[in-house]
Amino acid sequence: MSSVIEIPNACFESMSSYGKCRIVSLVGKRTSAIISYGDDLKIAQRVLDEHPDEEFQCSEFFMAGNDVLLALGGRLGIIKIINLSKGAFIGHIRAHGGCISSIKRYGNEYLLSCSEDTTIKMWNVSGLTCVCIFGGYSGHKDYVLSIDVSSDMKYLASCGTDCSIKIWRIPSNLNKLECISPIYSSTDICKFPIECVRFYRELLIFYSGERKIHAVSLKYEEAKSSVEVVLAGEIVLKRRLFRKFDISGDILVALMEPHDIVMFDMNDIGFISHPKILESIKKEKIQDFCVVENRMFVLFENTHLMAIDLT
């Protein structure tokens, strides 16, 4: 079962979701649209940026008290924060020297952002100030494409066009600005840019253009500030994935080019595993997707948003 909504007069690039409030954010050229979902899809709010050259590439929801906030990042390297509950612009952060590729919330007090300027930075939302930089000599050498935070909030994983995976220890004291070096760095796992990375239980899951999703187990050695990484399994694909994968509960969901939805139960991960094709979406060109519980939201180039029931 699926439903579709068209958002007129817009050009969207990517999307994010906030299951707690049952909303998704679509972002692109100077604009963001907030779509609520329940029995059907509805346009709840629209945001138009005043800068004619802004192109938003990513967004992230978070809370401030009872208010829902949205952080937007894009080609200008600026993070813009909006209070959706009050319809007010809170402020902006001149965050990076290049396009921002991803934003992640860290609790409700901090944001993490990564960029083509090779760095990852952590920001205090209330003060709009930088409290931590993940980079330096042993950091990424090229665009950082994807970041994720472990469930215990202690570790940050990142990947990018330098074909490397890096794991960072997030400082427990965020009262002073620090430059952090990775506790793990590998450039020999993949030969292609690594496009997506996610923590899943004690595993780290990541994808590059090699038609494989890799899973490695992580054993942290706190005393040595290091981590031991061992290959736990691979999901072999028939074709390339579209942009990324998502994990909801124990189910990994992705789009395999050109239009196949694939699913995999992470409890079945092994050294050679194969996902199953759930459905083919023979529609317009796909821009992005996200998964919330048992729903998959697919954004198309013609500004249509489709919600698909995965059950």
CATH number at residue 183: 2.130.10.10
On whether residue 154 sits in a domain, the answer given is yes
pLDDT in the model for residue 83: 96
On whether residue 287 sits in a domain, the answer given is no
Distance, in Å, from the CA atom of 235 to the CA atom of 126, rounded to the nearest integer, reads 41
User: 260-290 pLDDT, tens per residue?
Assistant: 888 898 888 877 767 777 667 766 788 899 9
On whether residue 167 sits in a domain, the answer given is yes
Task: Report residue 196 CA to chain centroid gap.
Answer: 8
User: In a 3-state reduction of DSSP, which class is residue 55?
Assistant: strand
pLDDT in the model for residue 1: 47
pLDDT in the model for residue 91: 93
Which residues form the domain of 82? Answer: 2-240
Is the preceding omega at residue 258 within 30 degrees of 0, hence cis? Answer: yes
User: 113-129 pLDDT, tens per residue?
Assistant: 999 999 999 999 989 99
Other CB atoms within 10 Å distance of the CB of residue 129:
11
On whether residue 227 sits in a domain, the answer given is yes
On whether residue 84 sits in a domain, the answer given is yes
On whether residue 274 sits in a domain, the answer given is no
Residue among 238, 243, 236, 253 at smallest CA distance from 291: 253
On whether residue 286 sits in a domain, the answer given is no
pLDDT in the model for residue 108: 86
Per the structure, how many domains does the chain have? Answer: 1
Distance, in Å, from the CA atom of 8 to the CA atom of 45, rounded to the nearest integer, reads 13
CA distances from 151 to 106, 206, 254, 298 (A): 11, 16, 21, 26
On whether residue 206 sits in a domain, the answer given is yes
